[in-house]
Structure 1
Amino acid sequence: MTEKMTNDECGMTNDRRRTPACAVRRFFLVSSFVIASLRFLLRSSTRFAVLAVSLCSVLHSSFAAGAPLTRAIDIRMLPYERSLEKLPVDLTATVGFVENSGTAFVQDDTAGTHLHFRPARNDLRVGDHVRIQGTTTAGLYFPGVDVAQLQILGHEAPPMAVPASYDDLATGRLHYQRVIVEGLGRTLTPLDENRSLLRLAIGSRVLEVRVDAPLESAPALIDARLRITALAAGGINDRRQLVFPYIRVTDWKDVVITKAAPALEALPITSVVTLLQFGAADEPHHRARIRGTVLAAYPDGRVFLRDATPPPPPRDTSKDIPKPPQSPSIAIRLTTPVSLTPGQHAEIIGFPIMAGFSASLADALVLATEPDESPVAAVVSLKEFQDGSHDADLVHLTTPAVLNDYFRSADGFELRLTSQGTPLRAFLIQSDPPELDIGTSVELTGICLVESSTDKGFRSQAERASLLLRSADDIQVIHSAPFWTPGRLVLASSILAGLVLLAFIWIAAQRRQIGILSSRIVQQATLDERQRIAREFHDTLEQELTGLSLRLDAATTRPLEDKARTLIETSRSLVSRIQSEARNLVADLRDTEQPPELISALHEIQLRMPPNAPALKLDLHPIPPIPGPVSHHLRMIAQEAITNALKHAQATEITLHLSATADALTLRLTDNGQGFAPAAATTGQPGHFGCMGIRERCRKINANVDWQSQPKQGTMVTVLLPLDRLTT
C-alpha cells in the first residue's frame, strides 16, 4: 500500500495538483544520485569528477527548464535576466493586498510576490487562498507573475504579518509582504480624493503610511501610539533600486490605536531648554507645548520663537565644568503655514526633534496668539554669534561686515560677507535683490542659525553660523562701497581695452585707406606717364617713320639700279615693321583697361606677327589665375623674346610654350635661329637692352630666366615662375 501511494505521489496519477510535488521529489532523487556519483568519482579520479559535474549541470538545467516554480521565494529570487524568459509558475498562496483589478499581492509560507492580470479581475479579496498558473515577469523591483489562470481554492485569514522596523523595510527583504509596524502618529493629510497619507514616527525615522480610505473616516491618530498591519512597499527608480520605503493599508481598521494621544489642554507648558534632555519622555517623543514671542515667521512655515517659560534651576555641578550654552529660542516648522507677525505672543505644539545644533519642533500647530511688544535683538559679538549660545535667537552683530558678493538662491538671495577676516553668510528671503553695492560696510540683524558643529571630547560645539534676515530692513549701511570697486575696475579696464582695440582697428583702417590711396596715386601716375610716352612716340618717332616711309616710296618710283632698288625695298619693309611695332607699343600704352589673360594676350601676339615673318607656333596649356601685372610682364617677356628671334636670330621656326604645375608656371620660347653666347650677350651690350629688360621684368615678378643657346643651334628662353612667390 505504501508503494502504491508513492507511485501515485510521484506522477502515476492524473491529478494535476500533485505534479509540482512529484517534480520536486524527482529533482531531489536525481540530485542525490548525481551527488553520490560525484563523490565516488572524486575519490577515484579528478577527470571523471569534472565529467560528473558537467553531467550534473546538464541534468539540472534540463530539469529546471521544464519544472514550474512553486514557491514565492523562488520567483522573487530569480535574476532579472532569468525572469524575462517567461518561466512557468504554479503557485499556491494567500492574497495579502489587492491594489486594483489588475494587480494583487500574494504570500505563501516562504515569501511574497506580485500578480498581474490580463484581463482584470474584480473578485479577489484579502484572505483568498488561490492557485496561480502563469509565467514570470521582471517587475519594477523583483520578479512577479503574469497570471494566465487563477483558481480560488477558498477563503481564510490573511497571511501572517511579521513585526518590522524602519531598517527592515529599508532593506527590502520584506517587500510585498504583510508587516506590523508600531510608532507615533505625526501628521495626517489627504493623498488624493479617496486616499490618505499618515506619517508615522518610528524611533528617529518617519515612515509614510498610504491608506486606501478617505481622511474623513480616520480616527484621532496624531500623537497616538499606533500598531499598523500593512503591506511593505516603497518607491523604485529606473535602476530597480529602492529609493524609500512606505507601507500600504487597505482600510482604517488595520490601524489600531494602542495608546490614545494626550489631550492638548492636558499638556504642560514646557521650557525650550528641557526638550530632548535625559529622562524627558519615552522615544519617540510626544508633542510638546511651548509659549513665547514670535521672532520671525516665513512663508514656508518656519517660525522662530523666544521662549517665555523660564528653564528649571540648574543641577549642582562642579565649578571646573563650564556651563553649557542654552538658547532661549527655538526653531519651529509648522505643518501648515500660518500668518504670524514678529512680536506676537504665541502658543505652539509640536514634536521635538534633533535639528542642527539645538532641539526643534516639527509638524507643529499654532494653538493661540495674542499681540505683544516687538522683540528686541540680542546684541552679540562675532565670537558670541559663532559659539552657539544664541542658536535660533534674534541677534544684532556689533561687528561690521563687508559685502563681498550676493547671488540668487532657491528661496531668495544669499549674501557673502566678511567680518574681521571671518567669512559670514546671510540669507534674505525676498524676490527682489538687495540694493547694495559690493564693498558696502553693514551691520546685520537676524536669526542666528548654527550650520555645523564639531565634537570635542563628549561635547558638541558650534563651528560655523549664518544669519537669516527677516527683511532688507535688517541690513543697516554704515559706509557705502568705495567708487573703485573690483567690479568697476574690471568694467573700466574692459572699456579701456575696448578703446585701445578700437584705436588699433582705426589705425589699421587708416593704413589700409592710405595704402588704397597710394595705390590709386601710383596707378594714376603710371597711367599719365604711359599716356605721355604714347604721345611722344606718336608725335615724334611714328611721324618720323611715316615721313621716312613716304621718302622711300618716292624713291622707288625713280629709275634705280637693281641693287639700289633692292636696298630701298628692304629698308622700306624694315621701316614698315618698325612702324607696326611702334603702333602696337602705343596701343599697349593707351590700353588702360584690365589687361587680358595671359593665354589671350599670347594669341594676340600671334595675330600681330608681321606678314612676312615666320609662323609662330603656340603650345599653350591651362594655367591658374594670375594677377594682371604679372600677366603683363610675362606677355612683354614673350614679345621681347619673339622680337629677338626675328631681328637677331633670323629664325624660321618659333614655338611658344606655356604650362603650369602645382608649384610653378613655365613660359618657354624656342627657335631654330643662329644662336649666340648667352653668358656675354644677355648681360647687356652697348645699344642692346632686350635681354636686360627680360631680366628686370623677371625680378619684378620673382621669376627666374634662363637662356640656352649655341651658335647655329637655335635658342631656348625659359621663364620659371614659382606660384608660392607670386606677386603683383
Structure 2
Amino acid sequence: MLIKSLICLIALSALPEVHDDQTSVDELSSPQTTVASIRNLSDAEANRRYPVQMKGTVLLATPSSFVFHDGETAIWCERPRTDDESRIHLSAGMTVEIKGQSNRGHNAPLIQCSEVTVTGTGELPVPRKSSFSELQSGVLDCQWVTIDGVGISAQQGNFLQMAGTSVVVSTFGGKFFFNSTAVSPEMMESVIDAEITVTGVCLPRFNNRGNVLDSDIMSCVSDGLKITKEANKNPFESNKVTLGSLFEFSPVWSPTHRKVVTGTVTACEPGHQIFITDGEHNLRVIPQTYDIFKIGDVIQCAGFLEMEENFPVLRTSIIQTIGSDKPPEPSSVTPDSVLSIQLLAPNSDQRDHQAGLVRLSGNLIAVEDQLGKPFQLILDADGSLVPVTLASFQPPRQLRKIRPGSTLEVTGICSIRTSDRPEVNRMLRAESFEIRLRSPQDVTVLSTASWWNATRLLLLLAGTVALLLAALLVIFWMRRRIAQRGSELAEARREKDALELVAATTKQERTRVAADLHDTLEQSLAGVALQLRAIETARSKDLADRNLSLATQILSQSREDLRRSVWNLRLTDSGVTLLREELRKTCLAIFSVTPITAEVGGRGEERKLDVLTTDNLLMIAKEAMTNALKHSSPNHIQIDVDYTADQVSLCVTDDGCGFDADRVAGTHQGHFGLTGMQERVRRIGGELMLVSNPEHGTRIEVTVPR
C-alpha cells in the first residue's frame, strides 16, 4: 500500500509540469505579436512557421523585402510573393500591420509575410549609438544604428536590387561600407575626408555556413548621412607627414583624415600602384587615377594611411607633381640583409627595404611563363630562392631566351612577406621576399650558361630512349599487322570454304527434297488419279462412294506430307543459336494437330553453338521426327539435347513400331532420309548412332565435339 501511495503522489506532482509544457506550446501556436519572440527562436523552432501578427514601422524597403521595427527591436521580413504591379509600395517611416509566419532564413530568423497593410506614416526610432566592434559582431542584425567616422571614398553602386551610392567609412577600429539610395552623386565628392555620421540598418554579411564575416550599414532616408565637419577643399592642405613618421604614437585618438606625403618616384604602374622614397624610407601609394609619372619625379600624395601586411600603404591617393630629381639609385642587397630585419625592434637603426628599390644578383633557376599569370624569373641568391616578377603579362623575347644557369643582376621593388603573427618575445620576422621589375631593362645578364647542360643531356637521352621505344612500337605494330592480315586471309579462306560447303549442302538438300517429294506428293497424286479413274468406271454408287472416300483420304495424307516437307525446307534464322528453344517451336508446329506428344529436354546448361552446327542438328531432328510420324505411328517422342564441356549430343527417341535397321530402305529404293542424316553428321564432324528394333521404337543419337 505504501508503494502505491508513493506512485500516486509522484503522478500527481507531475501533472502541473505537463500543463506548463502544453501552455508554452499553445503560446507559440498563437500569433506572435513581438519581434523579440521571433528573434529568440532557434533555427529549428523558426522553421516550424509559427503564426505572426504585428504592428510597427518600416526602416528599410527593397523590391522583395523590408526591415520591420515593432518599437523595441527589428527583424528582416520577406514581402508577399506577388507580381510587381500588385505589390504595394513601401518606404522608410511607413507604419504597417503584417501577418505571416516565422522562417529560419539563411542566417537568422525572419518573418515570411503573407499580408502587409499600410496604416499610415510614423517616426523612425531613435538609432542606437554603436561602435565598430559591435557592428562587426553581427549582434546588431537589422537594427537601427548610428556611428561616426570619416568618408574615405564614394562611388555609384547597386545593392539589394536598388541603385545608390556606396561610401567607405573609416571609424575607430576599422572600415565599413555605408550604402544609401538617398545620397546624390553631387554629394559624393564632399563626403571624402569629411567627418560624417551615418544612420541606417545594420546588415551583416554571412558565408555559406552562416558565419558572420562583417557588417555594412544601409539607409534609404535622406538624413542617413550627415556631414559634421567638412573636408579641406584643397586635399594637399591636409596634415603633412614625412615617410619616416607614418603611424607615429599619439595618446589622443583622432579621426583618420587624409595625410599628405612627399617623395621621389622609384616605380610607377599606372592605375595600380606607385612607389616613392625620401632616400631612406619607402612607401607604396595606391592612386585614384591612371596618371603616368616618370622615375625621378617628385610628387605629393594626399590619401588615407592603412597598415597592410605589417607595412603602411597610402590608399585613395590624389597625386600632383611638384618637381623632378635624378632617378634614385637602388640599394644592393642580399637575402640575409633583407630577411634579417627585426620588424618589432624599437628604435632600430637597421633599414628595411619594403617598397624600396633594390638590386640583387643570383643564378637563374627557372623561367615561369604561364598564360594569364605574371612572367617570373626564379633566382638562387646565396642559397635562397627569390621570385623576380615582371608587371607586364607579355614579356619581351629576350627574357624568354635567358638560359637557366645564367648569372643575372636584377633591379626592382622589394616586397617582403612577414609571418602571420609575432613570434616569441614579440619579434615579427620577415619570411620571404620578391622583386618586382619595372621593365625588361631591369634584368642584366652577367654570364650566360653553357648551351650544353644537364637538362639538355637528359633531353638527349630521353629522345634516344623515345626513338628506341618508337622503333620497338613500330616493329610490334608491324608484327601485329602481319598477324592480323594473316588472320584476315585465313578468315576469308574459311568463309570461302563455308560458301562452297553451303552450296554443296544446298545441292544435296535439293536432291533430298526432290526425293522426298517424289516419295510423298507424286505417289499420293498418282493414287488419287487411280481412284478418280475407278470412279468413272464404277458399276454401282456404293463402289463409287468408296473410291471417292479413298481419294479423299489420300489427299488428306498428301496434304500432311506436303506440310512436313515445307517444315523440312524451313531454315533457322542465323541469329538463333539456342537449340532447345528452336526444337520446342518445331515440335509445336509438327505435332499440334496430331495426338502425338513431344517433349524437349536434356542435361547441361544451354549455350550458344555456331550456326552451321545448330542448323544441321535441327534438320536432323526434324528428319527423325518426320520419319517417326510417317513410319512408326508413335504415341510419344522425346528429344534431348545434352551439353558437356567437350561435346553436345542430340537424341531423338520414339515409342513407335520400329524397324529392322539392317533392312532399311536406302537411296537405291528412292528413300533418302537416313542417308541425308549421315551426310549432315559428317558435315559438322559428328557421329551418328541408330538403334531400332521392330515393336521397340527407334533411337537416333548424334554427338558433335565442341
**Structure 2 length-normalised TM:** 0.63
| SS class of match (2:139) | coil
| SS class of match (1:457) | helix
Contact residue 306 and residue 314 of structure 2 kept, 8 A: yes
In structure 2, what is the equivalent of residue 441 of structure 1?
405
In structure 1, what is the equivalent of residue 138 of structure 2?
172
1:222 aligns with 2:186: no
Alpha-carbon separation, structure 1, partners of 2:191 and 2:6: 66
In structure 2, what is the equivalent of residue 65 of structure 1?
29
Question: How far apart are residue 219 of structure 1 and its match?
Answer: 7.2
In structure 1, what is the equivalent of residue 311 of structure 2?
358
CA gap 1:280/1:342 in 2 versus in 1, 3 angstroms: farther
Aligned CA-pair RMSD: 5.4
Contact residue 137 and residue 146 of structure 1 kept, 8 A: no
In structure 1, what is the equivalent of residue 606 of structure 2?
none
| SS class of match (2:12) | helix
In structure 2, what is the equivalent of residue 107 of structure 1?
69
In structure 2, what is the equivalent of residue 458 of structure 1?
426
Counterpart pick for 2:258 among 274, 287, 293: 287
User: Aligned residues: percent identity?
Assistant: 16
CA gap 1:177/1:594 in 2 versus in 1, 3 angstroms: same
Contact residue 185 and residue 223 of structure 1 kept, 8 A: yes
Alpha-carbon separation, structure 1, partners of 2:100 and 2:616: 93
Alpha-carbon separation, structure 2, partners of 1:658 and 1:473: 97
| SS class of match (2:483) | helix
1:401 aligns with 2:401: no
CA deviations 1:346-381 (Å, max 9, x no partner) are 222322222224222222221325444444433323
In structure 1, what is the equivalent of residue 348 of structure 2?
none
Counterpart pick for 1:340 among 271, 293, 298: 293
In structure 2, what is the equivalent of residue 323 of structure 1?
none
In structure 1, what is the equivalent of residue 536 of structure 2?
none
Question: How far apart are residue 200 of structure 1 and its match?
Answer: 1.1
Alpha-carbon separation, structure 2, partners of 1:366 and 1:215: 23
| SS class of match (2:16) | helix
Contact residue 200 and residue 218 of structure 2 kept, 8 A: yes
1:511 aligns with 2:483: yes
Alpha-carbon separation, structure 2, partners of 1:59 and 1:609: 101
Question: How far apart are residue 398 of structure 1 and its match?
Answer: 0.8
Contact residue 291 and residue 309 of structure 1 kept, 8 A: no
Contact residue 190 and residue 214 of structure 1 kept, 8 A: no
CA gap 1:661/1:205 in 2 versus in 1, 3 angstroms: farther
Contact residue 209 and residue 247 of structure 1 kept, 8 A: yes
Counterpart pick for 2:18 among 40, 54, 65: 54
| SS class of match (1:399) | strand
| SS class of match (2:291) | coil
CA gap 1:520/1:286 in 2 versus in 1, 3 angstroms: closer
Alpha-carbon separation, structure 2, partners of 1:597 and 1:202: 104
In structure 1, what is the equivalent of residue 222 of structure 2?
251
Between 352-361 and 601-610, the greater mean CA deviation after superposition: 601-610
Q: 2:703 is matched by which residue type in structure 1? A: L
In structure 2, what is the equivalent of residue 432 of structure 1?
394
Question: 1:228-267 residue pairs with structure 2 within 5 A?
Answer: 228-235=198-205, 243-249=213-219, 250-251=221-222, 254-257=225-228, 264-267=235-238
Contact residue 206 and residue 212 of structure 2 kept, 8 A: yes
CA gap 1:355/1:667 in 2 versus in 1, 3 angstroms: same
| SS class of match (1:179) | strand
| SS class of match (1:339) | coil
Q: 2:246 is matched by which residue type in structure 1? A: L
Q: 1:398 is matched by which residue type in structure 2? A: S
Contact residue 339 and residue 429 of structure 2 kept, 8 A: no
Question: 1:644-659 residue pairs with structure 2 within 5 A?
Answer: none
Alpha-carbon separation, structure 2, partners of 1:660 and 1:333: 92
Contact residue 267 and residue 288 of structure 1 kept, 8 A: yes
In structure 2, what is the equivalent of residue 213 of structure 1?
183
1:720 aligns with 2:703: yes
Alpha-carbon separation, structure 2, partners of 1:714 and 1:86: 90
In structure 2, what is the equivalent of residue 143 of structure 1?
110
| SS class of match (1:391) | coil
Query: Where does the alignment leave 5 or more consecutive residues of structure 1 unmatched?
Result: 1-40, 311-327, 528-590, 643-651, 676-693
Contact residue 102 and residue 120 of structure 1 kept, 8 A: no
In structure 1, what is the equivalent of residue 649 of structure 2?
666
Alpha-carbon separation, structure 2, partners of 1:451 and 1:149: 58
CA gap 1:265/1:417 in 2 versus in 1, 3 angstroms: closer
Alpha-carbon separation, structure 2, partners of 1:104 and 1:714: 100
Alpha-carbon separation, structure 2, partners of 1:147 and 1:42: 54
Counterpart pick for 2:245 among 274, 277, 285: 274
Contact residue 190 and residue 230 of structure 2 kept, 8 A: no
Counterpart pick for 1:74 among 9, 29, 37: 37
Alpha-carbon separation, structure 2, partners of 1:385 and 1:243: 35
In structure 2, what is the equivalent of residue 182 of structure 1?
148
| SS class of match (1:216) | helix
Q: 1:484 is matched by which residue type in structure 2? A: R
Alpha-carbon separation, structure 2, partners of 1:520 and 1:476: 72
Alpha-carbon separation, structure 2, partners of 1:610 and 1:708: 24
Alpha-carbon separation, structure 1, partners of 2:96 and 2:661: 121
Question: How far apart are residue 302 of structure 1 and its match?
Answer: 1.8
Contact residue 673 and residue 715 of structure 1 kept, 8 A: no
Question: How far apart are residue 458 of structure 1 and its match?
Answer: 1.7
CA gap 1:291/1:709 in 2 versus in 1, 3 angstroms: same
Alpha-carbon separation, structure 2, partners of 1:521 and 1:438: 65
Question: How far apart are residue 207 of structure 1 and its match?
Answer: 0.5
Alpha-carbon separation, structure 1, partners of 2:7 and 2:701: 99
In structure 1, what is the equivalent of residue 321 of structure 2?
368
Contact residue 42 and residue 49 of structure 1 kept, 8 A: no
Question: 1:408-557 residue pairs with structure 2 within 5 A?
Answer: 408-409=371-372, 412-413=374-375, 422-432=384-394, 435=397, 436=400, 440-442=404-406, 443=408, 444-453=410-419, 455-476=423-444, 478-479=448-449, 482=453, 484=456, 497-498=469-470, 500-516=472-488
Alpha-carbon separation, structure 2, partners of 1:356 and 1:349: 21
Q: 2:73 is matched by which residue type in structure 1? A: A
Alpha-carbon separation, structure 1, partners of 2:163 and 2:466: 63
Question: How far apart are residue 707 of structure 1 and its match?
Answer: 5.8
Q: 1:295 is matched by which residue type in structure 2? A: T
Question: How far apart are residue 448 of structure 1 and its match?
Answer: 2.0
**Structure 1 length-normalised TM:** 0.61
Query: Where does the alignment leave 5 or more consecutive residues of structure 2 unmatched?
Result: 81-85, 342-351, 520-560, 578-608, 625-630, 663-677
Contact residue 403 and residue 418 of structure 1 kept, 8 A: no
CA deviations 1:555-606 (Å, max 9, x no partner) are xxxxxxxxxxxxxxxxxxxxxxxxxxxxxxxxxxxx94754669x8567557
CA gap 1:149/1:188 in 2 versus in 1, 3 angstroms: closer
Alpha-carbon separation, structure 2, partners of 1:75 and 1:383: 61
